[in-house]
Structure 1
Amino acid sequence: MTTVLIVASAAPKQPAVLVEALERFRDRGATVTVACFFDSAELPIDPALADVRTFAVPVEKRDARFRKALGRAQANRKLWLHARRNAWLRQRYRKADLLVALDARTVHTVWEMAQRNTRAGAHYGLVPALRALDSARTEPVGKRLERQMAAAAGIGARGAKRAAVQTVRTTLRKATGQTVMSNPAGAWFWTRAVAAPRVPDRFRSKLAVRLHDSAVRAGRPAVAARAASAAVNRISSAGTRADVLTQAAQSELALGHVPTGLHDAIRAQLALADSLVSKNPTQSAAAVSKAWSLSSNRVLHFDRLTSPMSEDPGAFLAPFRASAAARKLSGPRCRLAPAAPAPTDRPLRLLVTTLINDNFLPEILERYRAMPNVEVRFLDLHEDPVTRPLALSGSAVIEHLLAGESSYGAKIEEWLRPHLDWADTVFVDWCQATAALFTLHDPGTARIIVRLHSFEAFNFWPHLVDFSRVDDVVFVSEHLQDLSTAVLPQLAEPGGPRLWVIDNAMDLQRYPRVKSADARFNLGMVGFSSVAKDPRWAIDVLRRLRERDERYRLTLIGSNFNNRTSKPAKDYGKLLSKDLAELEPLDAVRRYGQTDDVPAALQEVGVILSTSVRESFHCGLVEGAASGAVPVVRDWPFFAGKPHGARTLFPADWVVATPEEAAERILDATATEERWRETGQVASEHALKTWDWTVTQSGFDRLLLDG
């Protein structure tokens, strides 16, 4: 009886053809097995015709060597790597009389099987296999022996080559590892070896990245920088030089370090972009995207307690301001006509738009939807799954801006033009993708308003916005306006958009509630999920208080700390977890969790803390103050010592510089229940008369209705 093994990488588009072939194999007395690289349930075959099985299984995480082999292998070879590990399949192909590749991806796998079962015929396709079965020719003994010897020799040669390559790789990996690069002699040798003459760029670049990574992991960033620099100076290709520096910077960022060669990598990518901007906008856009990706990495700005952007925006962004390609992204293209004045014969058409985050819009939407002289539409660019990908592609926006036109730009025009034609005023919340897309094309006579929150100032999106097409830019605080104009100088240039400072829209009337006497000793934080909130600063304050009085405790309101964003966030999270493990069993710290009823949570809080390193406004602090809790605000380090910051936004007695000052303010304000309630009442009155929506809505009326 003839045994046939058919190998398939995907379910055939015409199963009936396979079924007909299996029937012909059965009629000729053959036993057929179909080995699938997919779920065999997708191939409903009568068991009387063939034994159909799935044999490819997920790779075990602990099998690092096999995972690496899969990562290096080409697509068709991956199937063979899986096949040769499967005992069931090995048994089948060694006993088969006929081996059949059902599709192109399995041809290499069947060929490898035939090298190990030389008496079997191997064919691509069902028709040749059936024809071979029908011919029933007997191969001459001499020819068969010749083929078997050739196959055995080929297998041996390939195995020897793989073993040699693997040995070289293993040796090189060990010779360039952390241990060697931590040794001065080893570092000296490899720094010179990577700069040796006549080394191909391809090999030199890989070696440079490997040496840099090993030196960084060994705690020798200066050695890492020297090795990368030595290699780059010998590399002739501008693209390869930029990629080496970029990979080196990315490896340091992955470890949570600020790369010593960050600006070198950014400049290299921008130099490459400048050289390509006129002749190849696509490649130029890719280089600019890499530069912005490096400069916007969250390790630099969000997952540490400092940021180079806040220290000196001009110096940090200097490479972009010197780059022709980067300047072209935000260059003014101007509008064809000025925004039309508000209509007098019909309601004002107001389009409010955002991307995903509408947290700061409910009060605004509710107010203007209730006005008979305003017609409101709301557009979230993330809601439609068909157009959503268009709103999430920063690289496509960059390519369009460099090229001047693109199919992507045409799709954006088709998508947003009806909204621009309808609206008299477009209010864009968050200066990110939405703002860039609404200024990608001429807005017609629609008035464009963009509100910038703090997050965007550290991101690349505002640099893709054409502010010559924006009429008004809104900030929630003066210190945010200061930072934003330093990051985006075009905002402050003559002829630029009008700049507004309008507080966040908050309904604070629902927060004042009677607090129990026990709340006097309860500190509270609203939001502690990120490094920027710096909850460990609050714990430092708590420890100082409990040294004086163990009745003080801390309530953390909101989602748990997110330690999955980067290595620095993970490291911070470990320290925070250690603090909580010590203090929670003592009932000194309690996690309230996420809640939709923040006023109820704040009713238990007697002192509200803002311990962040940066805030644009801090709604949670203001809500706590409105509830009657005593506000204690850290002088946010990102803005401390500058013309505007926490000290100019809040009353002077609310703001402290150190945990010691915070503890003293709390001890003084909570010395007696009467003093605590009086201090909290004064804070509540100030919050309500300064930031409640009944007060701040007039600013939005002037912005949206009066212009």
Structure 2
Amino acid sequence: MTEVLLISALPRGWTSARELAARLVAAGHVVRIGHAYDVSSLPPPAEGVEARRLRFKSAGLVRSTAVRLAGRLGGAAARTFLYAKYDPWLRTEGRRADAVVAVDRAAAWAVRQATSANAEARIAAVGLDALPLVAARGGPATTLRKLLDRGMTAASPASVVAAWRAVVSSPGDATLAEFVPHAATIAQLLRRNLSFAEAREVASSGLGLALPADVRERTELELATALVSCGEPAPADLGDLVRAVLRQADEALDAGSLEVAANRVLEAVEALFNRELHADVLASPLAADPDAFLAPLRESRVFGVLGTSAESSGVSPTRTERLLIVPGDYPNFTKPIIEEFSGLPGLEVRVLDLKAKATPPRRRGQYDLILDRLRAATGAAVPPPAPADAALLEWADTIFVDWCDNAAVWTTLHAPRSARIAVRFHSLEAISHQVHVIDWSRVSDVVFVADHVRALVSQAAPEVAVGPRVHVAPNAMHLERFGAPKAPGADRTIAIVGWAQRVKDPLWALDVLAALRAVDPSWKLLLMGRDFQDRAHLSAMRHRDKFRARAVLDEVRDGIRYLPFTDDVPAALQAAGFVLSSSRREGFPVGVTEGAASGAVPVVRNWPMYAHYGGARGTFPPDWVVDDVDEAVQRILAHADPEVRAKAGAAARSYVVEHFDWTVIRPKYQDILL
């Protein structure tokens, strides 16, 4: 379980690299090879050995070009040294390795660079001569101690699991016994690293050990969270597991241990608000029965404290002359607001981007925000924001926070009481934990982009509707600019604007396309926007794989067109006679609204997660909304005649422009913010 990094500079060293790696793997070590040359025509290393060709990655075009030129002009030693300096993978592995070995002498310089922040890992011997020195390094205790001291930057998931297996298999080993009480923490570190299967193994095997009672409760919750993160159903006793850990939080709060209390709260909300339960699903247990699902929170004293309002002081301004806009984690929806208000006479607008770097770094992690909220609620001192941030907050008459996420928690903690705060909800926040840790007495106005989001939040967090003014106002959209004449072929083309996410459910759209093409093979599905992300949560990756497998089947393959992201959406929508919303959950859907504004006939799935709250039928005319694939197909075929389609498309355009164009919505936002 010692982590060994081998660096090879010369192709003739590949044989030595393979032999050294094989011997180390046989001795139980985790081995990686970084090589500065192409090995595609050479024999592969032993099974289980990760081999990576090194590359340059330097910030800035000029610097990157200079580094690449130096690499080409220099010899093998200089080139491999530059790889060690600029290859992100090698830098990461060099920091967490227990031993870093030069396979050939030309790599010695690179080894020194790779271990510049981890000098104790440097092995002086070269090649096979390093074997005795590596054998003296590491072991399970070293791996787990590094993990607990420095987190997952210090150890790979494979080495952590190997080390933990040694703990489980040797319960009488006094050296390893010290790690038994850390079972929950070790599983948690793996889970937060998205190593869900490894976290599941550690938690499951840990429960077979003689754990202290509090560690057992935390480990049971960690196992449940790991299972849910792997796509498994939530255990029936999830609420009881959360209650047990929140009781620990209550006890820590009573003892004045706010750091422990904050940690336990975070563990509880990571389980209860796990995105696999709510974000991209057809039915969320929170949305289905907020009172029952959130009962563990409402029963806990610590959440009672988190919901405590501070004493009000100061006077909110009656007129806003200085507006500070704080984008949340998804800033694209904020840009139109910034653009529109920046041009108003008598109003100065500034933007505080909390995702940008700051000195000192902002306390925006989940744990830090929960801890600081506990401090504020109990009268303890809260670390102040950076001077530049504090100056912006003091400057503002009104602060508009888009998205009720970490940015909203941070702003309500640090804004002066002389400033008025408005917070806008989209959709995801209704099923997230942040709404439950904000002091809502600090907020003067709450904006929901749709009434069904307001309805869910009102049930899940009734305190949001007590005190702040509540508004329903959709996103800013300039819909008049749509409506150019349709292109040939539009009458048989259905578009989805922004499609490649599980929550958008493009698989459902393929079901619609398959049924249509069974009637008439001329039907097309136009998928507009970026493709799936390369890295996302597990269920999203599974959905991506299912979509790609389905999209190449004969029944749909020839009917799919992909249009990459474009800024000219009105022009792109000229190709579409229909626009489809196949989503499982929506706040206010910009894509289908813009499609309707283009004169496309809207076909809107009755978003399953919000159907109980009015959802799509409360947002659009009921005849636009369909409950299943068959109804979607029937609605499309009923408008297949070009004249019928054109008439319905024109009516849809008139409706959305009349109800949702910025000229209609602007006065609502002016009233809220000014």
TM-score, normalised with respect to structure 2: 0.71
Hey, what does 2:419 align to over in structure 1? 446
Deviation at 1:420, TM superposition (A): 3.1
Q: 1:262 aligns with which of 227, 234, 238?
A: 238
CA distance, structure 1, for counterparts of residue 455 and residue 181 of structure 2: 45
Report the CA distance shift for 1:103/1:608 in structure 2 as closer, same or farther (over 3 A): closer
Q: Distance in 1 between matches of 2:655 and 2:219?
A: 55
* Residue aligning to 1:284: 261
Q: Percent identity?
A: 33
Identify the residue that residue 594 of structure 1 maps to in structure 2: 565
1:481 to 2:451 alignment:
no
Residue 674 of structure 1 corresponds to: 643
CA–CA separation in structure 2 for the residues paired with 1:586 and 1:356:
35
For 1:689, the aligned partner's letter is: E
Of residues 216, 224, 227 in structure 2, which corresponds to 1:252? 227
> CA, structure 1 residues 338+229, in 2 after alignment: closer, same or farther (shift >3 Å)?
farther
User: By how many angstroms is 1:478 displaced?
Assistant: 0.6
Kindly indicate whether residue 339 of structure 2 is the aligned counterpart of residue 366 of structure 1. yes
Quote the offset at 1:309 in angstroms.
2.1
Deviation of the 1:407 alpha carbon: 11
Question: Considering only CA atoms, is the larger Rg found in Structure 1 or Structure 2?
Answer: 1
CA change 1:314–1:371 in 2 (3 A) is same
Q: Tell me which amino acid in the other structure corresponds to 1:359.
A: N
Aligned mates of 1:675, 1:568 — CA distance in 2: 40
Is contact 1:208-1:227 (8 Å) kept? Answer: no
| Distance verdict in 2 for CA 1:603–1:387, change over 3 Å | farther
- Tell me the amino acid that sits aligned with residue 318 of structure 1: A
The yes-or-no answer on 1:333 pairing with 2:310 is yes
Q: 1:472 to 1:107 in 2, by over 3 A?
A: closer
User: Which of 418, 426, 439 is equivalent to 2:399?
Assistant: 426
Distance 2:457 2:567 in 1: 32
| Residue in 1 that maps onto 2:654 | 685
State the alpha-carbon separation in 1 of the partners of residues 561 and 45 from structure 2.
Answer: 38
Deviation at 1:333, TM superposition (A): 1.1
**What's 1:542 paired with?**
513
Of the structure 1 ranges 354-363 and 480-489, higher mean CA displacement relative to structure 2 is found in 354-363
Residue identity opposite 1:602 in structure 2: L
Q: Does 1:382 align with 2:355?
A: yes
What CA deviation, in whole Å up to 9, does each residue of 1:515-555 have, x standing for no partner?
Answer: 13420110110111211101111111111111111111100
Contact 1:351 1:379 in 2 (8 A): yes
Mark the CA change 1:699 to 1:108 in structure 2 (over 3 Å): closer, same or farther: closer
CA distance in 2, matches of 1:438, 1:553: 46
* 1:610 pairs with 2:587: no
1:186 is matched with none
Confirm whether residue 472 of structure 1 aligns to residue 445 of structure 2.
yes
How many angstroms does 1:444 deviate by? 2.4
Measure, in 1, the Cα distance between the counterparts of 2:163 and 2:332.
Answer: 55
Alpha-carbon contact 1:447-1:470 (below 8 Å) kept? yes
Distance 1:572 1:104 in 2: 40
Number of residue pairs the alignment of both structures matches: 552
Q: Is the 1:352–1:427 contact (alpha carbons within 8 Å) kept by the matching residues of 2?
A: yes
Instruction: Output one character per residue of 1:339-372: Cα deviation in whole Å (capped at 9) or x when no partner.
Output: 1322xxxx72222221353322344333333322
Q: TM-score, normalised by structure 1?
A: 0.68
Query: What's 1:502 paired with?
Result: 473
Q: Which amino acid aligns with 1:579?
A: R
Partner Cα separation in structure 2 for residue 401 and residue 678 of structure 1: 55
Map Cα deviations across residues 38-74 of structure 1 (whole Å, 9 max, x no partner): 99xxxxxxxxxxxxxxxx974799767789xxxxxxx
Cα distance in 2 between the residues matched to 1:159 and 1:329: 43
User: How far does the alpha carbon of each residue in 1:213-269 deviate from its partner, in whole angstroms, 9 at most, with x for none?
Assistant: 9xxxxxxxxx9999889859x64341x123311331243134211341533442333
Residues 1:391 and 1:156: Cα distance change in structure 2 (over 3 Å): closer
In structure 2, do the counterparts of structure 1 residues 513 and 171 end up closer, same or farther at CA, with 3 Å as the change threshold?
Answer: closer
Q: How does 1:12-31 map to 2 (within 5 A)?
A: none
Partners of 1:280 and 1:364 in 2: how far apart? 42
Deviation at 1:685, TM superposition (A): 0.6
For the 8 Å contact 1:353–1:428, the answer to whether it is kept is yes
* Unaligned stretches of 5+ residues in structure 1: 1-35, 40-55, 68-74, 90-101, 118-151, 163-168, 177-189, 214-222
**Paired AA for residue 331 in structure 2:** D
In the alignment, structure 1 residue 357 sits paired with structure 2 residue 327: no
Structure 1 position 475, deviation (Å): 0.4
Deviations 1:497-531 (CA, angstroms, capped at 9, x unpaired): 11100121100011111013420110110111211
How far off is 1:391 after superposition? 5.2
Q: Per the alignment, do residues 505 and 158 of structure 1 end up closer, same or farther by CA in structure 2, a change over 3 Å counting?
A: closer
Q: Distance in 1 between matches of 2:642 and 2:186?
A: 63
Report the AA paired with residue 366 of structure 1.
Answer: E
Kindly indicate whether the alpha-carbon contact (under 8 Å) linking 1:205 and 1:231 is maintained by their aligned counterparts in 2.
no
Q: What's the counterpart of residue 273 of structure 2?
A: 296
Superposed displacement of residue 157, structure 1:
12
Give the counterpart letter for 1:688 in structure 2: V
Specify the alignment match of 2:76 in structure 1. none
| Counterpart in the other structure of 2:615 | 645
Does the CA-based 8 Å contact 2:7-2:33 persist in structure 1? no
Gaps of 5+ in 2: 1-5, 10-30, 36-43, 51-93, 107-115, 142-160, 191-199
How far 1:622 moved relative to its partner? 0.4
Change (3 A) 1:511 1:617: same
Structure 1: which amino acid aligns with 2:250? Answer: D
In 2, the alpha carbon distance for the partners of 1:330 and 1:538 equals 42
Match of residue 698 from structure 1: 667
Matched residue, 2:366:
394
Contact 1:382 1:388 in 2 (8 A): no
Q: What residue identity is the alignment partner of 1:241?
A: R
Deviations 1:433-466 (A, max 9, x none): 2211221146222211111111222222222321
Quickly say closer, same or farther: Cα 1:263–1:58, change in 2 above 3 A. Answer: farther
Give the conservation status (yes or no) of the 8 Å contact 1:522–1:606. yes
For 2:648 and 2:140, how far apart are their aligned partners in 1? 80
Structure 1 residue 701, shift from structure 2 partner: 2.1
Q: CA deviation at 1:575?
A: 1.5
Counterpart position of 1:271: 247
CA shift for structure 1 position 104: 11
Cα–Cα, structure 1 residues 57 and 336, in superposed 2: closer, same or farther, change >3 Å?
A: same
| Letter in structure 1 aligned against 2:461 | L
Whole-angstrom distance in 2 between the partners of 1:483 and 1:228: 39
For residue 559 of structure 1, the aligned residue among 521, 527, 530 is: 530
Between 1:681-690 and 1:56-65, the stretch displaced more is 56-65
AA aligned opposite 2:456: L
* Aligned counterpart, 1:241: 216
Letter in 1 for 2:625: V
Aligned-partner Cα distance in 1 for 2:384–2:163: 52
For 1:244, the aligned partner's letter is T
Deviation readout 1:268-321 (Å, 9 max, x if unpaired): 332222111233211221221222222332222234433222222222222122
1:563 touches 1:572 (CA, 8 Å); kept in 2? no
Distance 1:256 1:388, change over 3 A: farther
Give a deviation string over 1:195-230, Cα, whole Å, max 9, x none: xxxx989659869999xx9xxxxxxxxx99998898
Aligned-partner Cα distance in 1 for 2:105–2:203: 53
User: What is the match of residue 580 of structure 1?
Assistant: 551
Paired with 1:559 and 1:363, the residues of 2 have a C-alpha distance of: 20
Q: 1:348 to 1:689 in 2, by over 3 A?
A: same
Q: Secondary structure at the residue paired with 2:562?
A: strand
Structure 2 residue matching 1:639: 3-state secondary structure = helix
For the 8 Å contact 1:304–1:569, the answer to whether it is kept is no
Q: Greater CA deviation, 223-232 or 509-518? A: 223-232
Q: Give, in whole Å, the separation in 2 of the partners of 1:285 and 1:509.
A: 49
Q: CA deviation at 1:584?
A: 9.1
Question: Residue 459 of structure 1 corresponds to which residue in structure 2?
Answer: 432
Task: Tell which deviates more after alignment, 358-367 or 283-292.
Answer: 358-367
Displacement of 1:155 after TM fit? 13
Q: 1:413 to 1:570 in 2, by over 3 A?
A: closer
**Letter in structure 1 aligned against 2:528:** I
